[in-house]
Amino acid sequence: MIFSHLPAGFIAAYITRKIWRKNLSQHQVNWLYVVGGLAGILPDVDTLYYYLIDSHLSHRELITHTPILYVVICTLLYLLGCLFRRRIWQSLSVVIFAGAFSHLLLDSLNSGIGWLHPTTNLIFGLLSISVLADGWYGQYLLVITLLIELAIFLLAGNIIFWARYKQRQGKIIVAVVSSLALIFLAVALYNISPQLYVRDPNIYYGDYDHDGVANKSDYDIDGDGINNITDLDANGDGQANREKVIASALAMTDVYYDRTSKSYWGMLSRFGFLSNADVVTRSYDAAGIYLYQELEHDFANNHSGYLGTPNDDQFANSVHNIYIYCQHQGLLQTDEAKAMPGDSLFYSTGGESADHLALVVEKVGSEMVVIDAGFDNEKVVKTSSAVVSQKFGKVIALGKILP
């Protein structure tokens, strides 16, 4: 959910109005509807911390995305209202809680929030349920969430329209038009859903070895005593890392390409578009090898050559930084003929560092078949390394990240 939290907060305030509007003037009621909308976006104030200060944790892992925070704040505000006999404070506490809680519920439609904080730092949502994550719900998650967002906007608009206009005919027309718009968008989104990449949040926020540490922060996610980067089966599912990396990359074929390289707060990425480095990083993520973990660890020991710091949200999504990591770890080879499926190819149009990246998925004779985001300006493609070189320069090295 990106845009619908404000109208959802308003709707939550409207639904609970019989609880809080008693003995208030219409002017006060109207202002509390506004407060409800603002409370709907209140938990996302932590995105400022994420983008401006530290991107180590997802903003949904911060305390602003936990129900306990709003239970405590709103309970205190309500009790103060009772103590000082301020009805407006009591109403305000209900509205703020309703708006903030609507935000937490919507965020739980996908990766989730810290429902059990402070007993655990793990986050939970509908996709924490494997039968949903692996089934149609996970497959069409972007379509479902976008439709819910539109439905929330339309419902909020209808509530406001119905409150201001009394003509029954006009209300019916607005309701019918809203329903048709929702149906039209549902069909359109369903048709383009195969071109949108949906990642399984359990890969990042789950806890495969049940040690209380989220996978993305765990250097040994299957608990076998072997670090992910050197484990031949990092997530312990019985399938070799290389096979999982290749399968994940192949599944990205025909997904829309993010030409903004995750600029503008990663907006296109949120809608399922893939940047150039995503092909490699997310394929490795699917196998339980989190390159941002490795880059962060390497940066702590040797920061030379890196652009930015691990606190930057796109630090590990930089082709240059992935190249520097491989260089520091002795994982670069210059003989392209030694590339194997699952390896990374670094391209450069000039200079000593790489500015483009592709993942090898097949070797036909001496020719490397790769999955690439960027060669085609519209979609991720499966093509030959030689074809990619025509646009992005020669292969300057291959990255042998997999053991």
Name the helix (H) or strand (E) containing 293: helix 291-301
Please name the amino acid found at residue 12.
A
Query: Cβ(295)–Cβ(310) under 8 Å?
Result: yes
Query: Does the predicted model carry a pTM greater than 0.85?
Result: yes
Tell whether the model's pLDDT for residue 373 goes beyond 80: yes
| Domains of the chain with CATH codes | 5-195 (no CATH), 234-399 (3.90.1720)
Query: Cβ(117)–Cβ(56) under 8 Å?
Result: no
Q: How far apart are the first and last CA of the chain?
A: 38
Output the CA torsion sign for 384, 385, 389, 391. Answer: positive
Spatial strand order of the sheet with 344-348 comes to 332-333, 394-399, 344-348, 356-364, 367-372, 381-384
Give the Cα separation of 159 and 143 in Å (integer): 24
Tell whether the model's pLDDT for residue 78 goes beyond 90: yes
Phi-psi region of 305 (alpha: psi -120 to 50; beta: other; left: phi over 0): left
Output the CA torsion sign for 186, 191, 195, 199. Answer: positive
Query: Cβ(385)–Cβ(372) under 8 Å?
Result: no
Tell whether the model's pLDDT for residue 348 goes beyond 80: yes
Give 203-214 pLDDT, tens digit per residue.
999 999 999 999
Output the CA torsion sign for 379, 278, 105, 44. Answer: negative
Output the CA torsion sign for 381, 383, 386, 390. Answer: negative
Tell whether the model's pLDDT for residue 169 goes beyond 80: no
Give the Cα separation of 25 and 391 in Å (integer): 66
Greatest CA span in the chain, whole angstroms? 82
Mean pLDDT of the region 91-97 = 98
Mean pLDDT of the region 269-276 = 92
Mean pLDDT of the region 254-272 = 86
Question: What are the structure tokens assigned to 130, written together?
Answer: 């494997």
Residues 6+ apart with CB under 8 A from 364: none
Q: How many CB atoms lie within 10 A of CB 23?
A: 9
Residue 226's pLDDT band (boundaries 50, 70, 90)?
A: very high
Output the CA torsion sign for 51, 53, 58, 64. Answer: negative
Predicted local confidence at residue 351, as pLDDT: 77
Predicted local confidence at residue 292, as pLDDT: 95
